[in-house]
Amino acid sequence: MTMRLDYRGTCVFVTDSASGLGRRIAESFHGLGASVAINDASADAVQRAIKEMGGGSRLISAPADPMRVSEIRSAVARAVATMTRLDVLVCSTARGDLCRLDRVTGDYWEAVLGINLKAAFFTAQACAPALKKSKGCIVNVASAIGQLGGPPGAAVYSAAKGAMAHMSRMMALELAGDGVRVNTFCPGWVDPRAAGPGADAAGTEALDAYIARQSPLQRTATMDECADAVLYLASSAASYTTGATLVADGGLTSGHYIS
C-alpha cells in the first residue's frame, strides 16, 4: 500500500521557518493542508515569508528571538491560541559558522549552544502542554555532523547538534506517558541552491566536489528530501517511532570505503 500524507486539520509550529530548510518544511506541511505557525527572529521576515507562501488563515505569524525564553513562550502561546491546538512541533533552527578551537570565545560558545540547543529545549517546553492534549509529536532537526563530526572548526556546532539528538531521546522517555512522540532528524549536506531565490550558493561548486568525494551517493541532499523525512516522522506512519534518530546523509555516517 502506498503511503499518502494528509495534514488537513493539523496544526504545526516550525521554528526558523522564514527561510532555508525550515521554510521548505513549513511549505511542505502547508501544501498538505496543515495550519502552520511561521517562526523567525525577524517579524518582517515572517511577514514576508507568509506573503510569499500565499497568505491566508492557515499561515500564522509567530516571531520570537530564539535567545529569549520569554519571547519563545509568548510566540507559542499566541500561535496555539490562534490555531486552537497544536499537533506538531518542528525545531529546525540551525546556526554555527565554522570557528577553530583556538578562536572560540565565550560569546561564540553561548550563541551557538543557545540558538541550536537552548532554543529547541524551551520551544519544546512551551509547546508540551498543547502537544499532550493532542497526543502530538516533536521533530528536532539536528545534523549528521552531530553524529559523526565535521570539518575543522565544527567542534561547537557538532557538540550542539549531538546534544540535541540525546536531548530528544530524553524528551521521548519523559513524554511517552503523555502520548507525545519525540524524534530527531539528522540531514547531511544540503545543496544551498535548493533554498530558492536569494540563497547563498557561494562556493557551491567546491562543496559539490567535496561531497562527491565524501558521500557514497556522491551528491548533496535537496530541501525536499529533508522535508519529506520530517513529514514522515510527524505522520501516523511513524506512530510507533519515538526516541529515534533518522539520518539522511547519503551514507556519510556509515563510514568510508575504498572503491
Residue numbers annotated as active site: 157
Helix axes 106-113, 155-175, angle to 10 degrees: 40
Residues 6+ apart with CB under 8 A from 209: none
C-alpha cell of residue 210: 567535496
Distance CA 121, CA 171 (A): 9
Residues 6+ apart with CB under 8 A from 103: none
Give how far Cα 150 sits from Cα of 133, 145, 184, 229, Å.
39, 5, 18, 22
Give how far Cα 157 sits from Cα of 41, 55, 57, 146, Å.
19, 34, 36, 8
